[in-house]
């Protein structure tokens, strides 16, 4: 059982990172809320240590080993509580935890079904099941200091979020990416898709 992995951060994807360790490359799935903090604090090639949840996904003919990573044990503990809810497997949980765990915990304790059903893959019935299973049992996770400042993403349309994620995958640091987006939007008021936004950013880089 792999409980921790440390290596050089060589790639950031939409729901995973790739670490290089002793000549081997390991892909580790990471919830979006954790990935945002990695993008903020860990540039490419920096050493990154993740606490991991190791499990095997069963296919028709084989079991595929998968690693899910977190920045600390408390996050991993919350994840293991979250997947106790009927119908939420590890992959679904990685997708669903796209907001800070502290916010999700507060919604669970408050019985805020409306907020919980905004999580990817969580409908009304599943949100109710989360509250029924976990309310009053995960309060301590609400103390996690995992909120991040995301000025562009906070109130931005989906296409701006998409453009920001692309820039992060291209190894730009979040503040730099946000600055490029803000400048591009100021230069042109006709931008209304991520493609147009990225094209404007590219033109500015070429002409700089």
How does pLDDT run across 55-89, given as a tens digit for each residue? 888 777 788 889 999 999 999 999 999 999 999 99
Residue in the structure block whose two tokens are 């600390």: 72
CATH 2.40.50.140 fits 4-143, yes or no: yes
Give 171's pLDDT tier (boundaries 50, 70, 90). Answer: confident
CB within 8 Å of 51: residues ≥ 6 apart: 3, 4, 69, 70, 71, 72, 73, 75, 76
In the chain, domain spans: 4-143, 151-207
Residue 43: pLDDT over 60: yes
């Amino acid at each position: 059982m792999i409980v921790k992995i440390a290596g050089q951060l060589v790639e950031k994807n939409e729901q995973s990172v790739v670490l290089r360790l002793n000549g081997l490359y390991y892909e580790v799935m990471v919830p979006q809320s954790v990935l945002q903090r990695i993008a903020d604090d860990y540039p490419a090639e920096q050493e990154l240590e993740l606490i991991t949840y190791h499990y095997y996904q069963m296919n028709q003919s084989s079991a595929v080993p998968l690693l899910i990573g977190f920045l600390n044990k408390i996050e991993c503990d919350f994840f293991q509580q979250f997947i106790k809810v009927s119908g939420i497997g590890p992959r679904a949980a990685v997708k669903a935890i796209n907001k800070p765990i502290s916010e999700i915990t507060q919604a669970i304790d408050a019985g805020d079904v409306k907020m919980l059903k905004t999580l990817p893959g969580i409908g009304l019935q599943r949100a109710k099941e989360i509250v029924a299973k976990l309310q009053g049992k995960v309060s301590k996770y609400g103390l996690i200091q995992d909120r991040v400042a995301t000025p562009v993403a906070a109130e931005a349309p989906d296409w701006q979020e998409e453009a920001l994620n692309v820039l992060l995958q291209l190894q730009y640091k979040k503040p730099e990416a946000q600055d490029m987006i803000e400048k591009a939007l100021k230069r042109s008021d006709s931008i209304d898709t991520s493609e147009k936004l990225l094209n404007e950013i590219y033109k500015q880089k070429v002409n700089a």
